[in-house]
Amino acid sequence: MRSIHLLAILSVTAIRVAGAQAVEPTWGPAPAIFPAGAKMAVMQGDPSKAGLFTVRLDLPNGYSVAPHFHPTDEYLTVIKGTFLLGMGDKLAAKQATALATGRFATVAATMHHYAIAKGRTIVQVNGMGPFVLTYVNAADDPSRKP
């Protein structure tokens, strides 16, 4: 009886996997709201529109995103490297939490936070669009610089 039950579960799993769609990342430069040097791949959805989206950011060693916030929750998964995630209005690497490969974090809507890549780091970001990033200090916004 147990083998029949297990077979039924495996059949359902196989059907779900067969209907899944694998996505190979297509990398390009990250939008101008991010400091130069990051690459981004859209894995699912359209971050510029309402709805669920998934993107990956490929960050070089030492790359940082100054303190900022989003109007919606942000879900982060470290795919490769170490992602330093800190809370607050000042970038402070020593006070950030180091998230190693495979770690997951949630940043609540409007929470002021910052990020630093330790080594080459790839982080996956999931959320509800449209994706909006607002810098705590407007002078840190690279899209406003000439």
Q: What is the pLDDT of residues 27-79, one digit of tens each?
A: 999 999 999 999 999 999 999 999 999 999 999 999 999 999 999 999 999 99
With a cut of 50, say whether residue 107 has pLDDT above it: yes
Residues 6+ apart with CB under 8 A from 43: 23, 25, 54, 55, 56, 124
pLDDT digit string, tens, across residues 88-100? 999 999 999 999 9
pLDDT the model gives residue 145? 77
What is the percent of the chain where pLDDT is above 90?
A: 82
Residue 104, amino acid:
F
Tell me: pLDDT of 144 over 60. yes
Query: Helix (H, G, I), strand (E, B), or coil: what is residue 133?
Result: coil
| Interatomic CA distance for residues 2 and 119, integer angstroms | 48
Residue 110 contacts by C-beta under 8 Å, 6 or more apart in sequence? Answer: 69, 70, 71
Residue range 12-16: mean pLDDT, rounded: 44
Note the pTM of the prediction, 2 decimals.
0.84
Has residue 115 got a pLDDT over 80?
A: yes
The residue ranges of every structural domain in the chain are: 24-144
Task: Find tokens 């402070």 and name the residue.
Answer: 92
Assigned CATH topology for domain 24-144 = Jelly Rolls (2.60.120)
User: At which residue do the structure tokens 């200090």 appear?
Assistant: 137
Q: Is residue 52 within a helix (H) or strand (E), and if so which, with residue range?
A: strand 51-59
Q: Are strands 39-44 and 28-29 parallel, antiparallel or unpaired?
A: antiparallel
Question: What is the Cα–Cα distance from 75 to 35, expressed in whole angstroms?
Answer: 20
Helix or strand run (H / E) with residue 20: none
Closest CA to 100 of 87, 86, 117, 75: 117
